[in-house]
Structure 1
Amino acid sequence: MVSTLPVIPVEAKAEKRRTARAPKPRGGLTKKKPVDWLLLLFAIVAALVIIAPFYLILVNSFKSPAEYSNGGPLALPTSFYTEGISAFWERVNFPEKVWNSVFISGMVAVLAVLISVLNAFAIGIGRVKGRSWIVLLFLLANLLPQEALLYPLYYMFKGIGLYNNVWSVIIIFTVIQAAFGTYLLSSVYGTFPKEVLEAASIDGASRWQILWRVIFPISRPTLSVLLIFFFIWTWNEFLIPLTFLVSNANQTVPVAISVLQGDRLMDVTTTSASALLGLIPTLLFFLIFQRTLTRGITAGAVK
């Protein structure tokens, strides 16, 4: 009996086999869907909305008041006008205000991270009784509005002689930031592998050695992120420094800018120059620690 099945040439079989083994195109080479273009458009619009205030600050910082009146806020400057920056620099003694902000923010960031680590180690690793209620208490403390804290804190620091002292602001923000850091790190340390801790204990490590030689190196990326966030959050704070730092020598950058604007001693261009000078330190800080922040955020994404 003769078979009637079609005969496939050897070349056709090889070509079919190569086609089957060919890798599929990656995500970046696939055809874009309407949803992808919509998301891209949304991202571009959001970027423009974010960039627009920075553009206005940068452009108007180098305009004269007359040029601002004639051309408006959106026009590019025709000359490099720097008297607004120099006027604000001299009026508020800007280097002194920068040092105050750097000192307060740096001390708060370091102390808050240190206290958060110690608290989270006791709650997450030490397994104290009622740990869930303690973590909830830290969360609720962090949710309290600052306006509710001003009245009791004012009389407390007035009574102990720390009113109009930078350490009053440092203590307040250290407690506030440490509450959030304790809440976050307690959840992280609660999932720490027990096998690692037991192995360190068998090797003769004390609790202090387990904290600083085992847990601290592993959680360093997370602590770096907290340190950066605490610094930036404290730098941008306004209400509490305005209330507790009344003298000119102790004021921070945001307070100095707002006080001078409230006195109506600045025109629009000088106001833009003050905003630019207040933005530059935090921008430099972010650019310096950008890689550390990126590594800390993505540290736990890939095992």
Structure 2
Amino acid sequence: MAVGTVLTTTPATSAKTPRPSRGRGGMTKKRSIDWLLLALVIVGALAVIAPFYLVLVNSFKSPIDYATSGPLALPESLDFSGIVKFWERVNFPEKVWNSIFISGVVAVLAVLISMLNAFAIGIGRVKGRSWIVLLFLLANLLPQEALLYPLYYMFKEVGLYDNVWSVIIVFTVIQAAFGTYLLSSVYGTFPKEILEAASLDGAGRWQILWRVVFPISRPTLSVLLIFFFIWTWNEFLIPLTFLASNANQTVPVAISVLQGDRLMDVTTTSASALLGIIPTLIFFLIFQRTLTRGITSGAVK
């Protein structure tokens, strides 16, 4: 008699690793830090937005509306008399063109000189390059007030006083000093393999600069170009000193000169500040994507 054996299989229970329990205290601490950072960001945003709000609101008020409602209230009706008064009083299109011309020429020349200097120092490996970079750093630390008297007499002697090119020369040197200091450290870490490969292909120094170094460092140069333009646009002391005539003045100088005018009121002053902000805001919005790409280009290899 054969005895049949029946094999029964029982499903194996899969062993599950228990998940580590998260402590509530850590989550509460993390949430508290997040709320604190959010509150600080909101306070900072309000501190930045408040002056723009005051300028925008008071630019479209009449003097009577400002006197009755105060600086924080919205205008009862839009009044463009302050904008028209400032526009006609200072010949605003002329001042905008002066600022655009000076800032644009300074930005282009400063970036070009910075790239050439940094190429010689960072890639060319000139002797004593550490001391040269230190010299450029010290040049950035000099206050503008220390440069006024010697530059004033120098431009008087060469006939460039009350000429836009005097301001262009000064700011080109100042901005190029900072650009050289920044780009020298960037070009100092440039991959040697790329330079050696270009040399083996028969490329000279100029070809290496314009066909290898310049395309790779273009995002950084774009950021410098935008910063140099905005920094030069906002400069006040040197243009005020060297541009005496009304036809050569820039936008910041034109706004400040009218502060003591007896015909000026708060609404016209706010309108002048608003008109002075609009060109730089438009420039920033146009080149915002270029600025973002240039800043984040070094984060991803």
Q: Measured at CA, do residues 81 and 8 of structure 1 come closer, stay the same or move farther in structure 2, by a change above 3 Å?
A: farther
Partner in structure 2 of residue 153 of structure 1? 151
- Give % identity: 84
1:268 Cα deviation from its structure 2 partner:
0.3
Mapping of 1:188-227 within 5 angstroms? 188-227=186-225
Partner in structure 1 of residue 289 of structure 2? 291
Say whether residues 1:254 and 2:255 are aligned partners: no
Which amino acid is 2:250 matched to? Answer: T
Partner in structure 1 of residue 14 of structure 2? 13
Say whether residues 1:180 and 2:178 are aligned partners: yes
Say whether residues 1:240 and 2:238 are aligned partners: yes
Runs of at least 5 residues in structure 1 that lack an aligned partner in the other structure: 1-6, 21-29
What root-mean-square deviation, in Å, do the aligned CA atoms of Structure 1 and Structure 2 show?
A: 1.7
Q: Distance in 2 between matches of 1:221 and 1:264?
A: 47
Q: Deviations over 1:87-106 (max 9, x none)?
A: 00000000000000000000
Q: Deviations over 1:214-259 (max 9, x none)?
A: 0000000000000000000000000000000000000000000111
Which amino acid is 1:209 matched to? Answer: Q
Which amino acid is 1:33 matched to? Answer: R
Partner in structure 2 of residue 99 of structure 1? 97
Q: Deviations over 1:61-87 (max 9, x none)?
A: 000001101110000001010010000
1:36 Cα deviation from its structure 2 partner:
1.1
SS of corresponding position for 1:33: helix
SS of corresponding position for 2:299: coil
Partner in structure 1 of residue 130 of structure 2? 132
Q: Deviations over 1:186-224 (max 9, x none)?
A: 000000011110000000000000000000000000000
TM-score (structure 1 length as normaliser): 0.91
Q: Distance in 2 between matches of 1:48 and 1:264?
A: 32
1:8 Cα deviation from its structure 2 partner:
9.5
Which amino acid is 1:299 matched to? Answer: S
TM-score (structure 2 length as normaliser): 0.92
Say whether residues 1:64 and 2:62 are aligned partners: yes
Q: Distance in 2 between matches of 1:225 and 1:13?
A: 58
Partner in structure 1 of residue 278 of structure 2? 280
Partner in structure 2 of residue 141 of structure 1? 139
Partner in structure 1 of residue 6 of structure 2? none
Which amino acid is 2:154 matched to? Answer: M
Identify the range of structure 1 (261-270 vs 242-251) with the bigger mean alpha-carbon deviation. 261-270
**Is the radius of gyration larger for structure 1 or structure 2?**
2
Q: Distance in 2 between matches of 1:255 and 1:190?
A: 39
